Structure 1
Amino acid sequence: MQSALRWVLWDVKDTLLKVRFSVGEQYCREAELMGLSFKPVEVNSAFRQTYKIYSNKYPNYGIAQGLNGHSWWTAVVQDTFSLCGVQDPALLKTLSHNLYHNFSNAQNWEVFNDSKKVLEDCSSLGLKLGVVSNFDKRLETILKSCDLLSHFSFLITSEESGAAKPSSLIFEQALQKCGVPSAQVAHVGDHYINDYLASRSIGIHGFLLDRDNKYNQSDIPKEHRLSSLEELPSRLQEQMD
Protein backbone atom coordinates (compact mmCIF):
# COMPACT_ATOMS: atom_id res chain seq x y z
CA MET A 1 0.00 0.00 0.00
CA GLN A 2 1.45 3.38 -1.00
CA SER A 3 2.05 6.14 1.51
CA ALA A 4 -0.21 9.14 1.04
CA LEU A 5 1.50 12.35 0.01
CA ARG A 6 1.99 15.04 2.63
CA TRP A 7 4.41 17.51 1.00
CA VAL A 8 5.25 18.99 -2.40
CA LEU A 9 8.73 20.40 -2.94
CA TRP A 10 9.26 22.97 -5.66
CA ASP A 11 12.00 24.12 -7.95
CA VAL A 12 11.61 27.85 -8.67
CA LYS A 13 13.43 29.24 -11.70
CA ASP A 14 11.76 28.15 -14.95
CA THR A 15 9.20 26.20 -12.91
CA LEU A 16 7.26 28.88 -11.02
CA LEU A 17 8.86 31.97 -12.54
CA LYS A 18 11.40 33.01 -15.14
CA VAL A 19 13.69 35.93 -15.91
CA ARG A 20 11.52 38.53 -17.62
CA PHE A 21 14.12 39.59 -20.18
CA SER A 22 17.36 38.04 -21.38
CA VAL A 23 20.48 38.65 -19.31
CA GLY A 24 21.90 40.66 -22.22
CA GLU A 25 18.87 42.94 -22.30
CA GLN A 26 18.84 43.54 -18.56
CA TYR A 27 22.59 44.10 -18.35
CA CYS A 28 22.39 46.52 -21.30
CA ARG A 29 19.62 48.51 -19.61
CA GLU A 30 21.75 48.97 -16.51
CA ALA A 31 24.79 49.87 -18.64
CA GLU A 32 22.77 52.55 -20.46
CA LEU A 33 22.13 54.25 -17.12
CA MET A 34 25.91 54.51 -16.78
CA GLY A 35 26.25 56.03 -20.24
CA LEU A 36 27.41 52.80 -21.88
CA SER A 37 26.00 51.24 -25.03
CA PHE A 38 26.16 47.55 -25.89
CA LYS A 39 24.20 45.13 -28.00
CA PRO A 40 22.34 42.46 -25.98
CA VAL A 41 23.74 39.69 -28.18
CA GLU A 42 27.27 40.86 -27.34
CA VAL A 43 26.59 40.91 -23.60
CA ASN A 44 24.75 37.59 -23.71
CA SER A 45 27.76 35.97 -25.35
CA ALA A 46 30.16 37.43 -22.78
CA PHE A 47 27.85 36.37 -19.94
CA ARG A 48 27.54 32.78 -21.17
CA GLN A 49 31.31 32.50 -21.45
CA THR A 50 31.87 33.96 -17.99
CA TYR A 51 29.05 32.02 -16.34
CA LYS A 52 30.42 28.73 -17.69
CA ILE A 53 33.90 29.46 -16.37
CA TYR A 54 32.68 30.38 -12.89
CA SER A 55 30.21 27.49 -12.72
CA ASN A 56 32.98 25.02 -13.50
CA LYS A 57 35.69 26.61 -11.35
CA TYR A 58 33.46 27.72 -8.46
CA PRO A 59 30.34 25.52 -8.45
CA ASN A 60 27.38 26.46 -6.26
CA TYR A 61 28.56 30.06 -5.84
CA GLY A 62 32.01 28.95 -4.72
CA ILE A 63 30.82 28.04 -1.23
CA ALA A 64 33.53 25.38 -0.92
CA GLN A 65 36.19 27.95 -1.90
CA GLY A 66 35.09 30.59 0.58
CA LEU A 67 32.90 32.63 -1.75
CA ASN A 68 29.16 33.32 -1.46
CA GLY A 69 26.35 34.23 -3.81
CA HIS A 70 27.03 37.96 -3.63
CA SER A 71 30.77 37.74 -4.28
CA TRP A 72 30.25 35.11 -6.98
CA TRP A 73 27.69 37.16 -8.91
CA THR A 74 29.77 40.32 -8.45
CA ALA A 75 32.69 38.61 -10.15
CA VAL A 76 30.50 37.20 -12.94
CA VAL A 77 28.98 40.59 -13.75
CA GLN A 78 32.32 42.40 -13.64
CA ASP A 79 34.07 39.83 -15.83
CA THR A 80 31.13 39.91 -18.26
CA PHE A 81 31.46 43.65 -18.73
CA SER A 82 35.25 43.40 -18.81
CA LEU A 83 34.92 41.12 -21.83
CA CYS A 84 32.75 43.83 -23.37
CA GLY A 85 35.53 46.38 -22.91
CA VAL A 86 34.69 48.07 -19.59
CA GLN A 87 37.90 48.57 -17.63
CA ASP A 88 37.02 51.24 -15.04
CA PRO A 89 37.00 49.47 -11.62
CA ALA A 90 34.55 51.97 -10.12
CA LEU A 91 32.15 51.52 -13.03
CA LEU A 92 32.39 47.73 -12.83
CA LYS A 93 31.69 47.90 -9.10
CA THR A 94 28.60 50.05 -9.61
CA LEU A 95 27.26 47.85 -12.40
CA SER A 96 27.69 44.66 -10.38
CA HIS A 97 26.17 46.21 -7.25
CA ASN A 98 23.11 47.52 -9.07
CA LEU A 99 22.46 44.35 -11.06
CA TYR A 100 22.78 42.11 -8.01
CA HIS A 101 20.08 44.11 -6.25
CA ASN A 102 17.95 44.60 -9.39
CA PHE A 103 17.55 40.85 -9.75
CA SER A 104 15.86 40.79 -6.33
CA ASN A 105 12.94 42.79 -7.67
CA ALA A 106 9.70 41.48 -9.14
CA GLN A 107 10.11 43.72 -12.20
CA ASN A 108 12.90 41.45 -13.43
CA TRP A 109 10.95 38.22 -12.93
CA GLU A 110 7.79 36.88 -14.54
CA VAL A 111 5.56 34.45 -12.67
CA PHE A 112 4.06 31.81 -14.95
CA ASN A 113 0.29 32.13 -15.40
CA ASP A 114 -0.40 28.75 -13.83
CA SER A 115 1.87 29.09 -10.78
CA LYS A 116 -0.24 30.84 -8.14
CA LYS A 117 -3.43 28.88 -8.76
CA VAL A 118 -1.65 25.54 -8.66
CA LEU A 119 0.10 26.43 -5.40
CA GLU A 120 -3.31 27.32 -3.97
CA ASP A 121 -4.82 24.10 -5.32
CA CYS A 122 -2.06 22.02 -3.72
CA SER A 123 -2.65 23.69 -0.37
CA SER A 124 -6.38 23.06 -0.76
CA LEU A 125 -5.60 19.35 -1.07
CA GLY A 126 -4.08 19.54 2.41
CA LEU A 127 -0.49 19.40 1.16
CA LYS A 128 2.32 21.44 2.66
CA LEU A 129 4.76 23.15 0.30
CA GLY A 130 8.49 23.75 0.41
CA VAL A 131 11.19 25.01 -1.95
CA VAL A 132 14.40 23.23 -2.97
CA SER A 133 16.28 25.43 -5.41
CA ASN A 134 19.73 25.90 -6.90
CA PHE A 135 19.71 29.59 -6.07
CA ASP A 136 21.39 32.17 -3.86
CA LYS A 137 20.09 33.85 -0.73
CA ARG A 138 18.06 36.40 -2.70
CA LEU A 139 15.39 33.79 -3.39
CA GLU A 140 13.30 34.65 -0.34
CA THR A 141 13.22 38.32 -1.32
CA ILE A 142 12.35 37.43 -4.91
CA LEU A 143 9.49 35.13 -3.90
CA LYS A 144 8.16 37.75 -1.53
CA SER A 145 8.27 40.46 -4.19
CA CYS A 146 6.46 38.12 -6.62
CA ASP A 147 3.77 37.38 -4.01
CA LEU A 148 4.67 33.68 -3.80
CA LEU A 149 6.52 33.38 -0.49
CA SER A 150 3.44 32.89 1.70
CA HIS A 151 2.66 29.56 0.02
CA PHE A 152 5.75 27.85 1.42
CA SER A 153 6.55 26.44 4.84
CA PHE A 154 10.31 26.54 4.18
CA LEU A 155 12.92 27.42 1.58
CA ILE A 156 16.22 25.64 0.99
CA THR A 157 18.65 27.27 -1.44
CA SER A 158 21.84 25.65 -2.63
CA GLU A 159 23.85 28.60 -1.29
CA GLU A 160 22.51 28.18 2.23
CA SER A 161 22.49 24.38 2.03
CA GLY A 162 26.07 24.06 0.82
CA ALA A 163 24.83 21.44 -1.65
CA ALA A 164 23.23 21.84 -5.05
CA LYS A 165 20.87 19.61 -6.99
CA PRO A 166 21.37 16.90 -8.21
CA SER A 167 23.18 16.14 -4.94
CA SER A 168 20.99 14.05 -2.64
CA LEU A 169 22.20 16.14 0.31
CA ILE A 170 19.95 19.11 -0.46
CA PHE A 171 16.94 16.81 -0.84
CA GLU A 172 17.81 15.03 2.40
CA GLN A 173 17.85 18.39 4.18
CA ALA A 174 14.41 19.08 2.76
CA LEU A 175 13.11 15.71 3.94
CA GLN A 176 14.33 16.51 7.45
CA LYS A 177 12.27 19.69 7.38
CA CYS A 178 9.26 17.79 6.06
CA GLY A 179 9.59 15.24 8.83
CA VAL A 180 8.13 12.43 6.74
CA PRO A 181 9.58 9.62 4.58
CA SER A 182 10.46 10.34 0.96
CA ALA A 183 7.48 8.24 -0.17
CA GLN A 184 5.19 10.95 1.24
CA VAL A 185 6.88 13.76 -0.68
CA ALA A 186 6.61 14.92 -4.29
CA HIS A 187 8.95 17.27 -6.16
CA VAL A 188 8.20 19.42 -9.20
CA GLY A 189 10.89 20.91 -11.44
CA ASP A 190 11.86 21.56 -15.04
CA HIS A 191 15.32 19.93 -15.15
CA TYR A 192 15.58 16.27 -16.12
CA ILE A 193 18.69 15.50 -14.06
CA ASN A 194 18.61 18.06 -11.24
CA ASP A 195 14.91 17.76 -10.50
CA TYR A 196 13.43 14.59 -11.93
CA LEU A 197 16.20 11.99 -11.69
CA ALA A 198 17.69 13.41 -8.49
CA SER A 199 14.42 13.41 -6.57
CA ARG A 200 13.38 10.00 -7.87
CA SER A 201 16.76 8.52 -6.88
CA ILE A 202 15.96 8.93 -3.18
CA GLY A 203 12.34 7.83 -3.35
CA ILE A 204 10.61 11.18 -3.81
CA HIS A 205 7.74 11.31 -6.33
CA GLY A 206 9.46 13.46 -8.94
CA PHE A 207 7.44 15.23 -11.64
CA LEU A 208 9.15 16.76 -14.67
CA LEU A 209 7.64 20.01 -15.91
CA ASP A 210 8.27 20.15 -19.65
CA ARG A 211 6.47 23.24 -20.91
CA ASP A 212 8.27 23.25 -24.26
CA ASN A 213 8.31 19.49 -24.87
CA LYS A 214 12.11 19.34 -24.70
CA TYR A 215 12.42 15.91 -23.15
CA ASN A 216 11.56 12.73 -25.00
CA GLN A 217 13.49 10.21 -22.90
CA SER A 218 11.82 6.85 -22.91
CA ASP A 219 12.50 6.41 -19.19
CA ILE A 220 10.01 9.16 -18.26
CA PRO A 221 6.55 7.64 -17.82
CA LYS A 222 3.75 9.83 -19.10
CA GLU A 223 2.30 10.13 -15.62
CA HIS A 224 5.55 11.75 -14.45
CA ARG A 225 5.52 14.45 -17.14
CA LEU A 226 3.67 17.75 -16.98
CA SER A 227 3.15 20.03 -19.97
CA SER A 228 1.82 22.67 -17.56
CA LEU A 229 1.42 22.96 -13.81
CA GLU A 230 -2.35 22.74 -14.25
CA GLU A 231 -1.95 18.98 -14.69
CA LEU A 232 -0.31 18.58 -11.28
CA PRO A 233 -3.20 18.62 -8.76
CA SER A 234 -4.97 15.64 -10.35
CA ARG A 235 -1.68 13.69 -10.43
CA LEU A 236 -1.11 14.45 -6.75
CA GLN A 237 -4.68 13.51 -5.91
CA GLU A 238 -4.04 10.06 -7.39
CA GLN A 239 -1.13 9.62 -4.99
CA MET A 240 -3.31 10.65 -2.04
CA ASP A 241 -6.30 8.37 -2.66
Structure 2
Amino acid sequence: MRAALKWVLWDVKDTLLKVRFSVGEQYCREAERIGLNLKPVEVNSAFRQTYKSYSSRYPNYGIAQGLNGHSWWTGVVQDTFSLCGVQDPALLQTVSHNLYHNFCNAQNWEVFDDSKKVLEACSSLGLKQGVVSNFDKRLEAILKSCDLLSHFSFLMTSEAAGVAKPSSLIFEQALHNCEVSATQVAHVGDHYINDYLASRSIGIHGFLLDRDNKYNQSGIVPKEHCLNSLEELPSRLQEQMD
Protein backbone atom coordinates (compact mmCIF):
# COMPACT_ATOMS: atom_id res chain seq x y z
CA MET A 1 0.00 0.00 0.00
CA ARG A 2 1.39 3.37 -1.03
CA ALA A 3 2.11 5.86 1.77
CA ALA A 4 0.08 9.06 1.54
CA LEU A 5 1.94 12.23 0.62
CA LYS A 6 2.34 14.62 3.57
CA TRP A 7 5.01 17.16 2.64
CA VAL A 8 6.35 19.21 -0.27
CA LEU A 9 9.94 20.41 -0.09
CA TRP A 10 11.06 23.30 -2.27
CA ASP A 11 14.19 24.60 -3.87
CA VAL A 12 14.03 28.41 -3.95
CA LYS A 13 16.37 30.19 -6.37
CA ASP A 14 15.21 29.79 -9.99
CA THR A 15 12.28 27.69 -8.76
CA LEU A 16 10.15 30.12 -6.72
CA LEU A 17 12.08 33.31 -7.41
CA LYS A 18 15.04 34.63 -9.37
CA VAL A 19 17.51 37.50 -9.24
CA ARG A 20 15.74 40.51 -10.76
CA PHE A 21 18.75 41.93 -12.62
CA SER A 22 22.13 40.54 -13.63
CA VAL A 23 24.88 40.50 -11.02
CA GLY A 24 26.80 43.03 -13.10
CA GLU A 25 23.87 45.45 -13.14
CA GLN A 26 23.18 45.14 -9.43
CA TYR A 27 26.83 45.42 -8.44
CA CYS A 28 27.32 48.45 -10.70
CA ARG A 29 24.29 50.23 -9.24
CA GLU A 30 25.71 49.87 -5.76
CA ALA A 31 29.19 50.88 -6.93
CA GLU A 32 27.76 54.02 -8.51
CA ARG A 33 26.30 55.07 -5.15
CA ILE A 34 29.81 55.30 -3.72
CA GLY A 35 31.33 57.03 -6.73
CA LEU A 36 32.58 54.11 -8.81
CA ASN A 37 31.89 53.93 -12.54
CA LEU A 38 32.07 50.36 -13.84
CA LYS A 39 30.55 48.48 -16.76
CA PRO A 40 28.12 45.60 -16.04
CA VAL A 41 29.72 43.34 -18.66
CA GLU A 42 33.11 43.77 -16.99
CA VAL A 43 31.70 43.12 -13.53
CA ASN A 44 29.73 40.08 -14.73
CA SER A 45 32.90 38.56 -16.18
CA ALA A 46 34.88 39.23 -13.00
CA PHE A 47 32.08 37.83 -10.85
CA ARG A 48 31.86 34.58 -12.85
CA GLN A 49 35.60 34.07 -12.52
CA THR A 50 35.57 34.81 -8.78
CA TYR A 51 32.46 32.81 -8.01
CA LYS A 52 33.85 29.77 -9.81
CA SER A 53 37.13 30.04 -7.90
CA TYR A 54 35.46 30.41 -4.50
CA SER A 55 32.98 27.60 -5.17
CA SER A 56 35.89 25.30 -5.99
CA ARG A 57 38.22 26.36 -3.16
CA TYR A 58 35.57 26.97 -0.50
CA PRO A 59 32.48 24.89 -1.34
CA ASN A 60 29.24 25.55 0.53
CA TYR A 61 30.37 28.97 1.81
CA GLY A 62 33.62 27.53 3.14
CA ILE A 63 31.94 26.03 6.20
CA ALA A 64 34.57 23.28 6.38
CA GLN A 65 37.36 25.90 6.27
CA GLY A 66 35.92 28.05 9.05
CA LEU A 67 34.11 30.57 6.85
CA ASN A 68 30.38 31.34 6.74
CA GLY A 69 27.98 32.84 4.22
CA HIS A 70 28.79 36.42 5.20
CA SER A 71 32.58 36.09 5.04
CA TRP A 72 32.34 34.00 1.86
CA TRP A 73 30.22 36.56 0.03
CA THR A 74 32.35 39.42 1.34
CA GLY A 75 35.36 37.76 -0.26
CA VAL A 76 33.53 37.13 -3.54
CA VAL A 77 32.35 40.72 -3.83
CA GLN A 78 35.67 42.28 -2.87
CA ASP A 79 37.67 40.04 -5.20
CA THR A 80 35.18 40.76 -8.01
CA PHE A 81 35.69 44.49 -7.67
CA SER A 82 39.44 44.06 -7.26
CA LEU A 83 39.53 42.36 -10.65
CA CYS A 84 37.76 45.44 -12.01
CA GLY A 85 40.52 47.69 -10.69
CA VAL A 86 39.04 48.79 -7.37
CA GLN A 87 41.81 48.60 -4.76
CA ASP A 88 40.76 51.01 -2.00
CA PRO A 89 40.11 48.82 1.10
CA ALA A 90 37.48 51.23 2.48
CA LEU A 91 35.51 51.22 -0.79
CA LEU A 92 35.73 47.44 -1.04
CA GLN A 93 34.49 47.07 2.52
CA THR A 94 31.59 49.47 1.94
CA VAL A 95 30.40 47.95 -1.32
CA SER A 96 30.65 44.36 -0.02
CA HIS A 97 28.73 45.26 3.16
CA ASN A 98 25.99 47.06 1.23
CA LEU A 99 25.56 44.35 -1.39
CA TYR A 100 25.37 41.57 1.19
CA HIS A 101 22.49 43.32 2.92
CA ASN A 102 20.85 44.59 -0.28
CA PHE A 103 20.25 41.03 -1.45
CA CYS A 104 17.91 40.49 1.51
CA ASN A 105 15.42 42.90 -0.06
CA ALA A 106 12.53 42.03 -2.36
CA GLN A 107 13.58 44.75 -4.81
CA ASN A 108 16.48 42.54 -5.90
CA TRP A 109 14.35 39.42 -6.38
CA GLU A 110 11.49 38.56 -8.71
CA VAL A 111 8.92 35.98 -7.60
CA PHE A 112 7.70 33.84 -10.49
CA ASP A 113 4.05 34.44 -11.42
CA ASP A 114 3.02 30.90 -10.54
CA SER A 115 4.81 30.63 -7.17
CA LYS A 116 2.35 32.06 -4.63
CA LYS A 117 -0.67 30.49 -6.30
CA VAL A 118 0.88 27.02 -6.20
CA LEU A 119 2.16 27.35 -2.64
CA GLU A 120 -1.39 28.23 -1.60
CA ALA A 121 -2.76 25.29 -3.60
CA CYS A 122 -0.41 22.88 -1.85
CA SER A 123 -1.57 24.15 1.52
CA SER A 124 -5.18 23.70 0.39
CA LEU A 125 -4.40 20.06 -0.33
CA GLY A 126 -3.42 19.69 3.33
CA LEU A 127 0.28 19.38 2.60
CA LYS A 128 2.96 20.85 4.84
CA GLN A 129 5.82 22.64 3.10
CA GLY A 130 9.51 23.18 3.73
CA VAL A 131 12.61 24.43 1.94
CA VAL A 132 15.85 22.62 1.02
CA SER A 133 18.16 25.17 -0.57
CA ASN A 134 21.85 25.68 -1.31
CA PHE A 135 21.65 29.14 0.21
CA ASP A 136 23.06 31.12 3.11
CA LYS A 137 21.29 32.32 6.23
CA ARG A 138 19.78 35.35 4.43
CA LEU A 139 17.16 33.09 2.89
CA GLU A 140 14.66 33.64 5.71
CA ALA A 141 14.86 37.43 5.30
CA ILE A 142 14.53 37.12 1.52
CA LEU A 143 11.45 34.90 1.70
CA LYS A 144 9.89 37.20 4.29
CA SER A 145 10.58 40.26 2.14
CA CYS A 146 9.03 38.49 -0.86
CA ASP A 147 5.94 37.49 1.19
CA LEU A 148 6.64 33.76 0.85
CA LEU A 149 7.95 32.80 4.29
CA SER A 150 4.56 32.04 5.87
CA HIS A 151 4.05 29.05 3.56
CA PHE A 152 6.92 27.06 5.09
CA SER A 153 7.17 25.08 8.31
CA PHE A 154 10.98 25.05 8.15
CA LEU A 155 13.92 26.23 6.05
CA MET A 156 16.92 23.96 5.50
CA THR A 157 19.79 25.97 4.02
CA SER A 158 23.11 24.42 3.09
CA GLU A 159 24.88 26.93 5.34
CA ALA A 160 22.84 25.82 8.37
CA ALA A 161 22.98 22.13 7.42
CA GLY A 162 26.74 22.20 6.86
CA VAL A 163 26.26 20.24 3.64
CA ALA A 164 24.90 21.14 0.21
CA LYS A 165 22.80 19.45 -2.44
CA PRO A 166 23.28 17.04 -4.16
CA SER A 167 24.45 15.34 -0.94
CA SER A 168 21.74 13.11 0.47
CA LEU A 169 22.67 14.35 3.95
CA ILE A 170 20.83 17.65 3.55
CA PHE A 171 17.70 15.81 2.42
CA GLU A 172 18.02 13.42 5.35
CA GLN A 173 18.12 16.39 7.73
CA ALA A 174 14.99 17.74 6.05
CA LEU A 175 13.25 14.37 6.42
CA HIS A 176 14.10 14.42 10.12
CA ASN A 177 12.23 17.73 10.36
CA CYS A 178 9.28 16.30 8.46
CA GLU A 179 9.10 13.27 10.78
CA VAL A 180 7.78 11.06 7.97
CA SER A 181 9.35 8.62 5.53
CA ALA A 182 10.82 9.71 2.19
CA THR A 183 7.88 8.11 0.35
CA GLN A 184 5.56 10.65 1.98
CA VAL A 185 7.54 13.62 0.70
CA ALA A 186 7.80 15.39 -2.67
CA HIS A 187 10.54 17.80 -3.72
CA VAL A 188 10.40 20.45 -6.45
CA GLY A 189 13.44 22.13 -7.99
CA ASP A 190 14.95 23.30 -11.26
CA HIS A 191 18.32 21.53 -11.11
CA TYR A 192 18.55 18.05 -12.64
CA ILE A 193 21.32 16.78 -10.35
CA ASN A 194 20.93 18.85 -7.17
CA ASP A 195 17.16 18.63 -6.99
CA TYR A 196 15.74 15.84 -9.14
CA LEU A 197 18.36 13.09 -8.96
CA ALA A 198 19.43 13.87 -5.40
CA SER A 199 15.90 13.75 -3.96
CA ARG A 200 14.92 10.62 -5.88
CA SER A 201 18.11 8.85 -4.81
CA ILE A 202 16.74 8.56 -1.26
CA GLY A 203 13.13 7.79 -2.19
CA ILE A 204 11.61 11.28 -2.24
CA HIS A 205 9.14 12.00 -5.08
CA GLY A 206 11.33 14.46 -6.98
CA PHE A 207 9.83 16.75 -9.62
CA LEU A 208 12.03 18.69 -12.05
CA LEU A 209 10.84 22.20 -12.91
CA ASP A 210 11.72 22.56 -16.59
CA ARG A 211 10.43 26.01 -17.61
CA ASP A 212 12.46 25.94 -20.84
CA ASN A 213 11.35 22.42 -21.80
CA LYS A 214 14.96 21.26 -21.87
CA TYR A 215 14.59 17.87 -20.23
CA ASN A 216 11.05 16.95 -21.21
CA GLN A 217 12.06 17.04 -24.88
CA SER A 218 15.24 15.02 -24.31
CA GLY A 219 13.53 12.09 -22.63
CA ILE A 220 16.15 12.01 -19.87
CA VAL A 221 13.43 12.63 -17.28
CA PRO A 222 10.07 10.81 -17.41
CA LYS A 223 7.31 13.19 -18.50
CA GLU A 224 5.35 12.55 -15.33
CA HIS A 225 8.32 13.88 -13.32
CA CYS A 226 8.69 17.09 -15.39
CA LEU A 227 6.89 20.37 -14.80
CA ASN A 228 6.90 23.10 -17.45
CA SER A 229 5.12 25.34 -14.96
CA LEU A 230 4.52 25.10 -11.23
CA GLU A 231 0.81 25.22 -12.04
CA GLU A 232 1.11 21.56 -13.13
CA LEU A 233 2.23 20.51 -9.66
CA PRO A 234 -1.03 20.36 -7.61
CA SER A 235 -2.65 17.81 -9.92
CA ARG A 236 0.54 15.68 -9.86
CA LEU A 237 0.57 15.78 -6.08
CA GLN A 238 -3.12 14.93 -5.95
CA GLU A 239 -2.34 11.79 -7.91
CA GLN A 240 0.18 10.82 -5.21
CA MET A 241 -2.43 11.41 -2.51
CA ASP A 242 -5.32 9.44 -4.06
Q: The TM-score by the shorter chain falls in which range?
A: over 0.9
Cα deviation for residue 232 of structure 1 reads 0.1
Cα deviation for residue 34 of structure 1 reads 1.0
Matches within 5 A, 1:33-112: 33-112=33-112
- CA displacement, residues 29-58 of structure 1 (integer Å, 9 cap, x when unaligned): 001111111111110000000000000000
Cα deviation for residue 213 of structure 1 reads 1.8
Which shifted more, 37-46 or 215-224? 215-224
What letter corresponds to residue 238 of structure 1 in structure 2?
E
Matches within 5 A, 1:9-28: 9-28=9-28
Cα deviation for residue 218 of structure 1 reads 2.8
CA–CA separation in structure 2 for the residues paired with 1:93 and 1:209: 38
Q: Moved runs in structure 1, 4+ residues, more than 3 A?
A: none
Q: Counterpart in 2 of 1:232?
A: 233
Aligned identity (percent) is: 85
Q: Counterpart in 2 of 1:168?
A: 168
CA–CA separation in structure 1 for the residues paired with 2:150 and 2:218: 35
Distance 1:202 1:217, change over 3 A: farther
Cα deviation for residue 158 of structure 1 reads 0.1
- CA displacement, residues 153-211 of structure 1 (integer Å, 9 cap, x when unaligned): 00000000001000000000000000000000000000000000000000000000011
How many positions carry a matched residue from both structures?
Answer: 241
1:152 paired with 2:177, answer no
Q: Which runs of 5+ in 1 are unaligned?
A: none
Q: Counterpart in 2 of 1:3?
A: 3
Q: Which runs of 5+ in 2 are unaligned?
A: none
CA–CA separation in structure 1 for the residues paired with 2:240 and 2:134: 27
CA–CA separation in structure 2 for the residues paired with 1:69 and 1:213: 33
CA–CA separation in structure 2 for the residues paired with 1:103 and 1:26: 9
Cα deviation for residue 217 of structure 1 reads 4.4
CA–CA separation in structure 2 for the residues paired with 1:155 and 1:139: 8
Calculate the TM-score normalised by the size of structure 2: 0.99
